[in-house]
Structure formats: C-alpha cells, structure tokens
C-alpha cells in the first residue's frame, strides 16, 4: 500500500468510525441516521481504495440512497422524538460492552485472516470490473440471482399485505346482521 | 467469459412448478374474481402435486447437479422435497378452511406458502452456500409475513411477527458472518469445494471452526435449538394457528436439511470439531424442551416446547453424522411432519373459528364432541411420545442408534429418558380428551371439507409410516441417505 | 437615479425569431472561436485538435510531467508529494471541482434561469427580464449577487447543524455528476490518453450517476425536517416521495441504452455512436418519452412541480431558507436539468458526435472543440425542450403523479427494457 492510499485510508477510516460512534451516541434518531449515511459514504471510499468501484457504488446507491432515505422518511413521517441513550442504562452498558468485545474479537479474527489463506484460482482477481461481476452473476450464480427476485417479490407482497387496511370477513358482517 | 450455466431442466422442474403456481395464486389473489379466489387452494394443491410428479421425474434424471453444482438433487434433497410438498399441501388445505375465520381476507397466504415451500426446497438441495442463504431468506420472509396475518387477533399476531422478524434477522447475521468466515477459511462457497479443501487439510482450522459455530447458531435459531429457542413459544402462540402448524414443521426441517448440507456435506472432515458442540446442544434441547412442556397450560405453547424437544432428537441424527443418522433424520422428518400437522389440525378444529388462546382444559371431552379429531390427536401424541408401534418409535430408534453408533451412548440414554418424560404431558392431553366431561355448553364439532381431508391424510400418513408397513419406508430413507 | 430605473422599452416583447437568432449566434461564436484557433495553429485539418494540447493536456504537461522531470530522485516517505503521485491528483481533483462549481455550474445555471424566464415569457406572451443590461442579460447575475449578499436567516427552532448541512447534501451530489459527463472527444495515442474532455472516465459511469443522484434526496428531506416548519416538512415529504418514485423509471430508462450498447462507460457510449443513423435513440424510441417524463419529475418541473407549486402552496422544503443556502438548492436543481439533458444526449443522441458523417468535411468534424460544440448544441436543445414542456402543460395532482409513476411508468419502463433487450438479441 502506497503512502498516499494509506493516508486516504486513515482519513476514511476515521470518518467511518466517527460516523459510527456518533450514530450510537446521538440522542436524536434523525441525527443518528445522518451519521450512518456518513459512515456508509466513508465505507464506500474504502471499497474504492480496495479497487472495488462496483461495490462502492452499490454501497452508496443501496444503503445511502435507498435504505437510509426510507429510514429518514419514516422517522420524519412519524416524527420520532428524542430517545434515551441506550448507554445510559447501566445494565445495558455492560451487555453492550460484552457484545462489542465479542464482535471486536470476530472482526479481529477476520482481519487476521488476511494472508492466512490463499484464495482459489477461480476467484476473481482485483480490480473487480463490473463486466466480470455481470458475467459471474448471470453465469455461475444465475440461480441464486434469479431466486433473489422471488425473495424480493415476497418481501413486496409482505409490505402490501401488512400495510393494507384490514378487510372484515364475510362471516363477521353476516353475524352482525344476524344479531340485529 | 460468459458461460451459460448447465441447467438440467429435469432437476429444476419441481422448483419451476412451485414458483409458477405461486405466481399464479399471487396474481389471482390480487386481481382475480371471487370465483377464482375461491379456487385458490385447489390451484395451490394442483401446483404442489405437479411439483411432486416433477420430483419423481427428477429422480430419473441422469445427473443430480444443476446450475454448475448450485443445485444438488440427491436422494436426501428429494426426500426432503417430498416432505416439504406434503407439509405445504396440508397447510394449504388447513388455510382454505380456517384462514377466513380470522376476520381478515388474507388470500395471499397461498402464494406465500408456495414461495416458502420453494425456499425450503432450495435449502434442502443447496450445493452452494449462496443458494442456501437465498432459500432460507425466502422462507423466512414469507413466514414473517404470514405470522403477521392475525386478522381479529392482530395485536398478538403483530407482536409475534415482530419478535420473529427481529430475532430472525439477528440470526441471519450470524449465518452470513459464518458463511463469510467459511469462505475465508476455504476460499469457496460451493459445498463440494469446501469439502475438498477441508479434507485436503488446506482450510484454516480456526476460522473454519468459528465459521461453523456461527452457522450452527444461525441455523439453530431457525430450528429452535436451546439456547436459541426463546422466540419459539411466543411466536407459535401469537401467530395464526395455521401458520404455526407450518412453522413448526417446514422451517424446522428445512433448517436441519441445511445443517446437514453444511456440517456433513461441506465439513464432514472437521466432524471432531462440531460433533461435541452439537451433542451438547441436542442434550440441552431435549431436556429443556421436555421439562418446560410439562408445565404448559396453553396448548400452542405446549406444542411449541414439544417441537423444541423434537428438534433435539433430530439434532442427534445430525450430530451422529453417519448413514444411520441421515436415515433417522429423513425418516423422522416425515414422521414429525405428519404428527405435528395432525396435532395442529386438531387444535384448529377444537378452536372452532374463534382462534383465541386455547387452554388445554378446552380439550376436555373432545372424545365425545369430535371422535375423529380426538382419535387423530391421540395417534399423533402417542406417536410423538415414541410408543411402539407408531412411527415416532421407529424414528427415535434410528436416531438414538445413530447416536450410539457414533459413540454417544450417554447422549442416547438422555434422549430415551426425555422420551419417557414426554409421555407425561402427551398423555395428560389424552386423559383430558377421553376421561373428563366436556366444558359447559360445548357443542358437537362437525369436521368437513379440507379440514377432514387434512385430518385423514395426516392419520393415514402416520399409519403408513408406522410398523409394520413402515419398514420399507425406513429402508427407502436409508437408500435416499446413501 | 435614472440609471437604476431605466425606462421600459416600448417594444419589450422579443420574438421567437430573435431568440433563435441569439442561440444560433452563440453557437456560431463557439464555432468561430474553434475555427480561429484552428487557423491560428496553421494545421491543415482537424488533426491538430485530435493530437494537440487541450486544457487537460496542458495541466498534465506543465503541472505533472514537467515538474516531475526536475526531481527524478527518490523522495523517500514524501514520495506521495511528488508530482504525479498521491497528493497531486487529490489537489487536482479539488481544484477541478472548484472550477466546475464556480467556473461552469454557476454561470451555466445563471443563464439557464435567464433563458427559462425569456422562453417562458415568450411562450406566455410576456417579456421576461428586460431591464438590467442589454435584453436583461444582467438580470440573473444580479439576482445571484443579491442572494449572495442577503442575510442568512436560521430559524430559532431549527436543527442548526442539519439545517446548515442540508443544502450541501443536495449540491455536492449535483456537482459530482459532472465527473463522468464526456464534454468532448477523447484521444488515445499509443495506448496513452493524449487528451480527454471527461474528468473521470469511470467504467461504471451510468451506475455512478444513478447512485449519486439518489443521495440528494437525503438532503431534501433533511432540509424540510431541520427547518422545523410543518409546511417545509410536508413539502419535503412530497418531494422525497416524488423523487423516490421516479428514480425507478429513470433508472430503467438509463438501463435500456446500456443494454443496447453493452457498456456503462459514458465516453464509450459517445464514442460508439457515430453519425445520426448510428445514434442509440433509434432502437430506444420508447426510452425517450420515459426518460423525459421521469427527468421532468426528478427535476420537479411542471407538470410535476407539486412540491413547490408556487401558485397553490408556500414554496416547499426550502421555505425557511434564504440567501446563499436557498441559492444552493436552485443551483442544484438547474444543474440537474443540465446533467439529465447531457446524460440523455450522451446515451441516446450521440454525445459529442457530429450528426453528419465524416465525409461531409467540416460539418462532420467532432474532435476537440467541435465535439464540445455538438455536445452543447444538443444539450441546450434538450434543455429547451424541457422548458417548452414546462410552459405548456398544467400541473398534476399528487395522486395522479404517484399513480402515473407506479402504475404506468414503471411497467412501461420494464416493458421497454425487455423490448430493447429483444431487439439487441435480434440485431445481434
């Protein structure tokens, strides 16, 4: 890694950590969401440094552009107010600490994995070009890619079913009529 | 460069049949006329039947693998597929009669059931962790939605759905992280390649172990192994009973199929690492499930703990990891599907169209009020308790002997002990049904239509699986397990 | 005082002819400058523009390569500060960003607004700005100056930080989109880019555009929410719903030419199209209306300007904003109009390519500044089209807008994508 990309990485990593930290400690959910957007953007920058522009763009488009917009939309729509800091609760603080240490251990192990194993020969070498990703998606991974559409369809149905105003069954109205 | 995946249509046809039927029912449930919508259950059943026929054709195909190894339609997969198709068909039949009683018109349940069925089939046939994950998510998302279809009991149903969704998403996180570590350890997501890498000893041992542990946690949640079972009683209680019936069978068995694919097909050479963990989990699950079931007074919670206990028994087979183990898992899957669905069918019948929380006292005198239902529940409960000659006995025999073969005599002994404990709470219900007078003002219950078909089908299924005619099926399971 | 209040001109109304004349005159001016430079360099064909130093090349030669030749040696840890390494592209990027915003975006938007007012005036039988400067040409720069010097009011109950940040969250994505627009030809000699009139030749240009444009919505809802005003919040909700809805058909419309061309790189798009019969608009005839309608909705132009419907509501998400922050929202909006037109031109109408074949002599030239000429001519025509629609159609209702988006545009977009894919396979 050249010094330039090291510096770029450090800046992006600091921004990402700052965003994540403020996301947790902000007292207002909207602020948290905006810090999360900052975190996503910094993460996308790190992906760019890893010569994976496609993933970086997808990160921006999907997380910052779609999911967070939805989050913010709902928060503002419901006018969610100030929340108590989850770290205020003493018991939760310990639980959070333990969870954080465990997750940290997992991430450390993931990081230590770097260089520990050699990737198989058929894995894509960087830079990950979008054409190659397309070939793999529609070739090797055609089946899961197509089935993912069913998954999304099911999720969409769920949104419609749950959001739809409840219709009353015929038997109910009949019963009511009979009672009258 | 682009390579067209080698699709062997024959092996792929069962999925296509289910998905197409799901799409048709979905479109009809949104845009169809009243008449067409009344026909939805029939369309669903037809599609499942077509898929079953396609499955038999798939059994004759030259090759198991399709999509370059993404799908692996071996005997195990086909067996599980048949179980899933039957489960879904029975649930469709139950939904046809009982879902409209909820006070809401949730016609989408047929499409959701079919899509969930496809997800489960993918999990059982997954030759690649990505396929497994997508299948699992399709199944889970469909279930989250179905759990929320509460109608008149919307609040408890919402609570159940939310609990299931949040904990399920958390478990999925474990699953994905486990897959990532497994990829890191072996450099592949394909089950066959992972297996080769692990066998060659070139996989990173530590990451393999952690990856497998995380995967076990993720799947342990789906199948409700203790200590990842906390959600099960609440969700089973709050969801509509039809959905609970499906939830107690389909996802659980699919989870075990996936567990088998990962732990056995992919990581058999690392068996020494996962075997003790799974043994402990199985023992704890059997103990907690059976002991907690003793004190339950709500029948859905009782069946929930009972299903947790059964997850413990099946985990024994997976833990053994040998051929008898798989034979036991396959046979017990079919057995458990029929027994559990029979029990839930009777719960639906006894509940009438109120769908309120059912206290076990309300089963009093069911032997007089609905003799067929009471008989069916009796068979189911005796079967679950594992009393010979019923099918549960054969299944438990296979599972426990697999555990003994793998050198876990003490574990098998605890399993037998737990079965003995379970007799108490199963027989308590039978006593209530036959030896107690009915509740004041209780009427005779007519069983008609789809419900009657479902009830008879579960009864017939259980009897076919039982001794003495059950032996050929055990042998067939053994043949599928090779 | 008289100069401050000039008399109204008796015949203030300008004709369509004079407007057209103005546009033609501008284009002729650009062409003349290009031709003049061409003659000045005394090179017998357009080859000079294909080979010769452009601005980018100049920067490369004088800021990167030449200083690098002074210090051939190793700078150790500070190597990244050496010309051509690490820090230099970063500095160049920041500089060029500043240039894009103040050197291009601001003047372009200023005169786009002027053109809008003139064209709307003409079409609605009014005059538009006439007073400041000849033909009112200085009216909009004066407006900009006014906005810049205006007091910057922050409401007491506003969420100060979010209120402050929101205009930037809208403006930054809008300015980032210029990165991938090919304004002119790109010349590669011996595998090295000699000059290129695109800032960042991204392989995933189209994806980049759709990703970047989806981020701006966050700024808009933040602005509406941070103002702590129910009208601005309502306006933000409407805007966000509209933007999110029409992003889908817009992306589908972007995908159709991508399927046809087999690339996501905008320079590649422009380079592949050739003269008029090779443009991708022909197989994409259905894409054009989808793109235009979605673009109008994304821009919040009439007939989709519900969010700020000035004759019916208070302004919308930006109602509490004043001064420069208010200007930033408008800057972003009009800049997006340019970007969307430029993208349409690049994807469907040949980009910087001349519509005439090369054999037609000077008419067929599209290297260097000639390419820029064609690019801007087409883009301005496209913007004119958008303004024309704006002047013609009445406003829709919100339910009509949503219904049109979800029930008509998205299915149509999908059908069109399928159609183009089938055509692609058939043509081979």
Phi, psi (degrees; rounded to nearest 5) at C186: -125, 125
Residue C219's Cβ-side half-sphere holds a number of Cα atoms within 13 Å equal to 23
Residue C96's Cβ-side half-sphere holds a number of Cα atoms within 13 Å equal to 17
* Residue B206 burial (C-beta neighbours within 10 Å; 0-12, 13-18, 19+): middle
Residues of A in contact with C161 (CB under 8 A): 31
- 3-state SS assignment for residue C189: strand
Mean pLDDT over the full length of chain A: 79
Q: What pLDDT, on a 0 to 100 scale, did the predictor assign at position C293? A: 93
Contact A56, A45 (CB under 8 A): yes
Q: What pLDDT, on a 0 to 100 scale, did the predictor assign at position B88? A: 96
DSSP category for residue C181: -
Mean pLDDT over the full length of chain B: 88
pLDDT tens-digit series, residues B357-413: 678 888 888 888 888 999 999 999 999 998 888 888 989 999 999 999 999 999 999
- Whether residue B108 is predicted with pLDDT greater than 70 in this model: the reply is yes
Residues of B in contact with A138 (CB under 8 A): 2
- As a three-state string, the secondary structure of chain A is CCHHHHHHHHHHHHHHHHHHHHHHHCCCHHHHHHHHHHHHHHHHHHHHHCCCHHHHHHHHHHHHHHHHHHHHHHHHHHCCCCCCCHHHCHHHHHHHHHHHHHHHHHHHHHHHCCCCCCCCCCCCCCCCCHHHHHHHHHCCCHHHHHHHHHHHHHHHHHHHHHHCCCCCCHHHHHHHHHHC
What residue segments make up the domains of chain C, in order of their start?
22-64+81-427
B100 has a chain A CB within 8 A of its CB: yes
Q: How many Å apart are CA B381 and CA B422, to the nearest integer?
A: 10
In this structure, which long-range contacts are made by residues A104-110, counting pairs with CB atoms below 8 Å and at least 24 apart in sequence?
A106/B177, A106/B210, A109/B181, A109/B206, A109/B207, A109/B210, A110/B180, A110/B181, A110/B184
Contact A167 B102 (CB under 8 A): no
- The DSSP annotation for B258-293 comes to HHIIIIIIITGGGHHHHHHHHHHHHHHHHHHHHHHH
Q: What pLDDT, on a 0 to 100 scale, did the predictor assign at position A20? A: 92
Residues of C in contact with A7 (CB under 8 A): 80, 86
What are chain B's partners, defined as 3 or more CB pairs within 8 angstroms?
A
pLDDT tens-digit series, residues B171-218: 999 999 999 888 888 888 899 989 998 888 877 777 888 889 999 999
Percentage with pLDDT > 90 across chain A = 19
Q: How many Å apart are CA C297 and CA C94, to the nearest integer?
A: 31
Mean pLDDT over the full length of chain C: 77
* Burial letters C153-190, b for 16+ CB under 10 A, else e: ebeeebbeebbebbbebbbbbbbbbbbbbbbbbbbeee
A156 has a chain B CB within 8 A of its CB: no
Token pair for C169: 């969250």
Q: How many Å apart are CA C261 and CA C136, to the nearest integer?
A: 44
Contact A110 B108 (CB under 8 A): no
Q: What pLDDT, on a 0 to 100 scale, did the predictor assign at position C195? A: 56
Q: How many Å apart are CA B107 and CA B304, to the nearest integer?
A: 26
Scan residues 128-167 of A and list those with Cβ closer than 8 Å to C.
Answer: 129-130
User: Which residue of chain A comes nearest to C236, CA vs CA?
Assistant: A73
- The DSSP annotation for B134-186 comes to HHHHHHHHHHHHHHT--GGGHHHHHHHHHHHHHHHHHHHHHHHHHHHHHHHHH
A110 has a chain B CB within 8 A of its CB: yes
- Whether residue C77 is predicted with pLDDT greater than 60 in this model: the reply is no
Identify the residue with better confidence: C188 or C170.
C170
Closest C-alpha to C413, from C252, C247, C251? C252
Token pair for C183: 């304004």
C288 has a chain A CB within 8 A of its CB: no
Token pair for A18: 């700052």
State which of B57-71, B276-290, C169-183, C382-396 shows the largest mean pLDDT.
B276-290
Element at C193 (helix H, strand E) = strand C192-196
| Residue of C217, C239, C266, C298 to mutate, testing the A interface (most A Cβ within 10 Å of its Cβ) | C217
Cis peptide upstream of residue B272 (ω within 30 degrees of 0) = no
Q: How many Å apart are CA B87 and CA B333, to the nearest integer?
A: 11
- Whether residue C280 is predicted with pLDDT greater than 70 in this model: the reply is yes
Closest C-alpha to C218, from B84, A36, A57, B343? A36
Residue B55, CA distances (Å) to B11, B82, B326 in order:
8, 8, 20
A11 has a chain C CB within 8 A of its CB: no
Residues 6+ apart with CB under 8 A from A113: B181, B184, B185, B204, B207
- Lowest model confidence (mean pLDDT) among A40-49, B98-107, C50-59, C363-372: C50-59
B137 has a chain A CB within 8 A of its CB: yes
Taking the CA of residue B140 and the nearest CA in chain A, the distance in Å comes to: 10
> Domains in chain A, please, with CATH?
1-84 (1.20.120.1200), 129-180 (no CATH)
Phi, psi (degrees; rounded to nearest 5) at B362: -70, -10
Q: What is the mean pLDDT of residues B333-346?
A: 94
What are chain A's partners, defined as 3 or more CB pairs within 8 angstroms?
B, C
- Whether residue C57 is predicted with pLDDT greater than 80 in this model: the reply is no
Token pair for A60: 């921006």
Q: How many Å apart are CA C166 and CA C224, to the nearest integer?
A: 9
Taking the CA of residue A76 and the nearest CA in chain C, the distance in Å comes to: 7
Contact A64 C264 (CB under 8 A): no
ipTM metric: 0.90
Q: What pLDDT, on a 0 to 100 scale, did the predictor assign at position C5? A: 41
Chains A, B: CB pairs < 8 Å: 125
User: Which residue of chain C comes nearest to A80, CA vs CA?
Assistant: C225
Residue A88 — pLDDT band, cuts 50, 70, 90?
low
Q: What pLDDT, on a 0 to 100 scale, did the predictor assign at position C9? A: 42
Nearest to A4 among C86, C207, C233 (CB): C86
Token pair for C56: 């980018």
Q: What pLDDT, on a 0 to 100 scale, did the predictor assign at position B424? A: 92
- For the CA atoms of C270, C274, C277, C279, the dihedral, rounded to the nearest 10 degrees, stands at -10
Contact B181 A135 (CB under 8 A): no
For the CA atoms of chain B, what is the radius of gyration?
21
Q: What pLDDT, on a 0 to 100 scale, did the predictor assign at position B307? A: 94
Q: What pLDDT, on a 0 to 100 scale, did the predictor assign at position C357? A: 84
Q: How many Å apart are CA C152 and CA C140, to the nearest integer?
A: 20
Q: What is the mean pLDDT of residues B270-298?
A: 91
- Whether residue C58 is predicted with pLDDT greater than 70 in this model: the reply is no
Q: What is the mean pLDDT of residues B9-38?
A: 89
Closest C-alpha to B12, from B91, B89, B68? B68
Residue C60 — pLDDT band, cuts 50, 70, 90?
very low
Q: What is the mean pLDDT of residues C296-320?
A: 81
Contact C171, C336 (CB under 8 A): no
Residue C396 — pLDDT band, cuts 50, 70, 90?
confident
Nearest to A60 among C211, C225, C244 (CB): C211
What are chain C's partners, defined as 3 or more CB pairs within 8 angstroms?
A
- The DSSP annotation for B346-398 comes to HHHHHHTTT----BGGGGTTHHHH-HHHHHHHHHHHHHHHT-TTSHHHHHHHH
Identify the residue with better confidence: C8 or C267.
C267
- Whether residue C239 is predicted with pLDDT greater than 50 in this model: the reply is yes
Q: What pLDDT, on a 0 to 100 scale, did the predictor assign at position C52? A: 46
Q: What pLDDT, on a 0 to 100 scale, did the predictor assign at position C71? A: 43
Decide the pairing of beta strands C186-189 and C192-196. Answer: antiparallel
User: Which residue of chain A comes nearest to C225, CA vs CA?
Assistant: A76
Identify the residue with better confidence: A135 or A20.
A20
- As a three-state string, the secondary structure of B243-255 is HHHHHHHHHHHHH
Contact A5 C211 (CB under 8 A): no
Closest C-alpha to B428, from B363, B358, B346, B343? B363
- Whether residue C185 is predicted with pLDDT greater than 70 in this model: the reply is yes
Residue A93 — pLDDT band, cuts 50, 70, 90?
confident
Cis peptide upstream of residue C20 (ω within 30 degrees of 0) = no
| Residue of A114, A135, A158 to mutate, testing the B interface (most B Cβ within 10 Å of its Cβ) | A158
Token pair for B432: 């209530």
**Phi-psi label, residue C357: left if phi above 0, alpha if psi -120 to 50, beta otherwise:** beta
| Cβ neighbours, 10 Å, residue B455 | 26
C86 has a chain A CB within 8 A of its CB: yes
* Residue C330 burial (C-beta neighbours within 10 Å; 0-12, 13-18, 19+): middle
Residues of B in contact with A157 (CB under 8 A): 26, 108, 111-112, 145
* Residue C145 burial (C-beta neighbours within 10 Å; 0-12, 13-18, 19+): exposed
Q: How many Å apart are CA B385 and CA B379, to the nearest integer?
A: 10
Q: What pLDDT, on a 0 to 100 scale, did the predictor assign at position B356? A: 61
Q: What is the mean pLDDT of residues B465-479?
A: 81
Residue C59 — pLDDT band, cuts 50, 70, 90?
very low
Contact C237, A89 (CB under 8 A): no
- The DSSP annotation for C112-130 comes to HHHHHHHHHHHHTT-----
Token pair for C109: 């938007």
- Indicate if the alpha-carbon torsion angle C185, C188, C194, C198 is positive or negative: positive
- Whether residue B447 is predicted with pLDDT greater than 60 in this model: the reply is yes
Nearest to C233 among A28, A57, A76 (CB): A76
pLDDT tens-digit series, residues C328-345: 888 898 999 999 999 999
Q: What is the mean pLDDT of residues C164-175?
A: 88
Contact C222 A7 (CB under 8 A): no
Q: What is the mean pLDDT of residues C97-125?
A: 83
- 3-state SS assignment for residue C308: coil
Q: What pLDDT, on a 0 to 100 scale, did the predictor assign at position C3? A: 44
């Amino acid at each position: 890694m050249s010094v330039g990309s090291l510096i770029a990485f450090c800046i992006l990593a600091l921004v990402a950590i700052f965003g994540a930290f403020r996301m947790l400690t902000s007292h207002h959910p909207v602020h948290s969401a905006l810090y999360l957007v900052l975190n996503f953007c910094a993460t996308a920058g790190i992906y760019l440094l890893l010569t994976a522009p496609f993933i970086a763009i997808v990160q921006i488009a999907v997380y910052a552009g779609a999911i967070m917009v939805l989050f913010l939309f709902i928060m503002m729509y419901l006018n969610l107010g100030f929340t108590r800091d989850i770290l205020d609760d003493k018991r939760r603080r310990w639980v959070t600490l333990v969870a954080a240490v465990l997750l940290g251990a997992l991430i450390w192990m993931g990081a230590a994995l770097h260089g520990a194993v050699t990737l198989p020969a058929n894995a894509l070498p960087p830079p990950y070009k979008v054409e190659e990703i397309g070939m793999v998606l529609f070739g090797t991974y055609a089946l899961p890619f197509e089935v993912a559409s069913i998954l999304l369809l099911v999720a969409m149905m769920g949104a419609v079913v749950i959001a739809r105003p409840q219709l009353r069954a015929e038997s109910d109205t009949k019963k009511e009529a009979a009672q009258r | 460069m682009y390579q067209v995946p080698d699709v062997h249509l024959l092996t792929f046809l069962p999925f296509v049949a289910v998905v197409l039927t799901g799409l048709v029912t979905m479109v009809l449930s949104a845009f169809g006329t009243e008449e067409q919508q009344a026909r939805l259950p029939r369309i669903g059943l037809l599609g499942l039947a077509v898929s079953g026929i396609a499955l038999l054709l798939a059994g004759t195909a030259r090759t198991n693998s399709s999509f370059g190894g993404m799908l692996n339609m071996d005997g195990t997969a086909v067996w599980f597929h048949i179980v899933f198709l039957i489960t879904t068909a029975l649930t469709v039949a139950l939904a046809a009669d009982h879902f409209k009683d909820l006070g809401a018109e949730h016609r989408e349940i047929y499409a959701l059931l079919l899509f969930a069925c496809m997800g489960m089939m993918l999990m059982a046939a997954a030759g690649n962790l990505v396929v497994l994950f997508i299948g699992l998510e399709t199944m889970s998302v469909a279930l989250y939605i179905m759990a929320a279809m509460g109608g008149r009991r919307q609040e408890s149903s919402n609570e159940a759905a939310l609990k299931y969704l949040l904990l399920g998403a958390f478990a999925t996180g474990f699953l994905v992280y486990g897959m990532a570590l497994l990829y890191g350890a072996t450099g592949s997501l394909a089950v066959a390649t992972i297996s080769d890498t692990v066998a060659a000893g070139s996989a990173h041992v530590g990451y393999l172990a952690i990856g497998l542990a995380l995967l076990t946690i993720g799947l342990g949640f789906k199948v409700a192994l203790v200590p990842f079972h906390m959600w099960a009683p609440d969700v089973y209680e709050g969801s509509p009973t039809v959905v609970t019936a499906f939830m107690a069978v389909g996802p659980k068995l699919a989870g075990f199929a996936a567990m088998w694919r990962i732990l056995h097909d992919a990581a058999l050479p690392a068996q020494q690492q996962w075997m003790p963990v799974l043994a402990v989990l199985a023992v704890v699950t059997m103990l907690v499930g059976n002991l907690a079931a003793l004190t339950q007074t709500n029948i859905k919670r009782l069946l929930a703990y009972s299903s947790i206990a059964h997850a413990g028994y099946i985990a024994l087979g997976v833990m053994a990891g040998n051929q008898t183990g798989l034979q036991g898992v396959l046979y017990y899957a079919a057995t458990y599907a029929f027994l559990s669905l029979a029990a839930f069918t009777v719960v639906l019948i006894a509940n009438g169209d109120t769908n309120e929380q059912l206290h076990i006292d309300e089963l009093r005198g069911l032997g007089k009020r609905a003799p067929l239902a009471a008989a069916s529940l009796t068979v189911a409960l005796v079967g679950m308790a594992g009393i010979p000659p019923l099918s549960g006995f054969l299944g438990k025999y296979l599972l426990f002997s697999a555990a003994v073969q793998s050198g876990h005599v003490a574990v098998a002994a605890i399993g037998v002990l737990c079965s003995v404990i379970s007799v108490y709470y199963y027989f308590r219900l039978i006593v209530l049904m036959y030896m107690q007078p009915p509740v004041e003002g209780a009427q005779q219950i007519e069983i008609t239509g789809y419900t009657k078909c479902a009830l008879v089908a579960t009864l017939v299924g259980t009897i076919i699986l039982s001794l003495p005619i059950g032996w050929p099926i055990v042998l067939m399971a053994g043949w599928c397990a090779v | 005082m008289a100069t401050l209040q000039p008399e109204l001109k008796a015949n203030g109304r300008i004709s369509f002819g004079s407007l057209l004349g103005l546009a033609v005159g501008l284009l002729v001016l650009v062409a003349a400058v290009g031709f003049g430079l061409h003659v000045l360099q005394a090179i017998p064909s357009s080859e000079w523009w294909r080979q010769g130093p452009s601005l980018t090349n100049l920067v490369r030669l004088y800021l990167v390569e030449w200083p690098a030749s002074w210090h051939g040696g190793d700078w150790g840890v500070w190597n990244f500060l050496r010309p051509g390494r690490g820090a230099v592209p970063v500095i160049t990027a920041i500089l060029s960003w500043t240039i894009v915003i103040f050197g291009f975006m601001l003047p372009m938007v200023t005169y786009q607004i002027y053109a809008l007012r003139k064209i709307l005036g003409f079409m609605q039988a009014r005059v538009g700005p006439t007073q400041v400067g000849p033909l009112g040409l200085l009216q909009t720069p004066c407006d900009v100056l006014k906005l810049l010097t205006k007091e910057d009011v922050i409401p007491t109950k506003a969420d100060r930080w979010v209120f402050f940040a929101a205009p930037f969250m809208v403006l930054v994505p809008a300015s980032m989109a210029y990165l991938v627009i090919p304004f002119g030809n790109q010349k590669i000699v011996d595998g090295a880019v000699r000059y290129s009139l695109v800032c960042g030749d991204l392989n995933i240009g189209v994806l980049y555009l759709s990703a970047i444009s989806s981020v701006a919505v966050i700024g808009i809802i933040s602005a509406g929410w941070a103002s702590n005003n129910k009208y601005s919040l309502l306006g933000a909700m409407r805007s966000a719903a509209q933007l999110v809805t029409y992003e889908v058909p817009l992306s589908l419309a972007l995908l159709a030419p991508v399927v046809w061309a087999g690339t996501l790189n905008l320079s590649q798009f422009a380079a592949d199209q050739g003269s008029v019969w090779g443009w991708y608009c022909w197989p994409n005839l259905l894409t054009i209306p989808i793109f235009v309608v979605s673009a109008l909705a994304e821009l919040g132009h009439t007939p989709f300007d519900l969010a700020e419907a000035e004759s019916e509501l208070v302004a919308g998400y930006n109602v509490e904003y004043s001064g420069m922050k208010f200007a930033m929202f408008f800057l972003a909006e009009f800049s997006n109009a340019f970007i969307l037109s430029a993208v349409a031109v690049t994807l469907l109408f040949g980009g910087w390519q001349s519509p005439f074949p090369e054999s037609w002599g000077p008419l067929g030239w599209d290297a260097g500044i000639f390419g820029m000429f064609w690019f801007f001519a087409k883009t301005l025509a496209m913007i004119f089209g958008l303004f024309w629609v704006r002047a013609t159609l009445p406003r829709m209702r919100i339910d009509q807008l949503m219904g049109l988006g979800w029930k008509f545009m998205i299915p149509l977009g999908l059908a069109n994508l399928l159609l183009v894919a089938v055509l692609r396979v058939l043509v081979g």
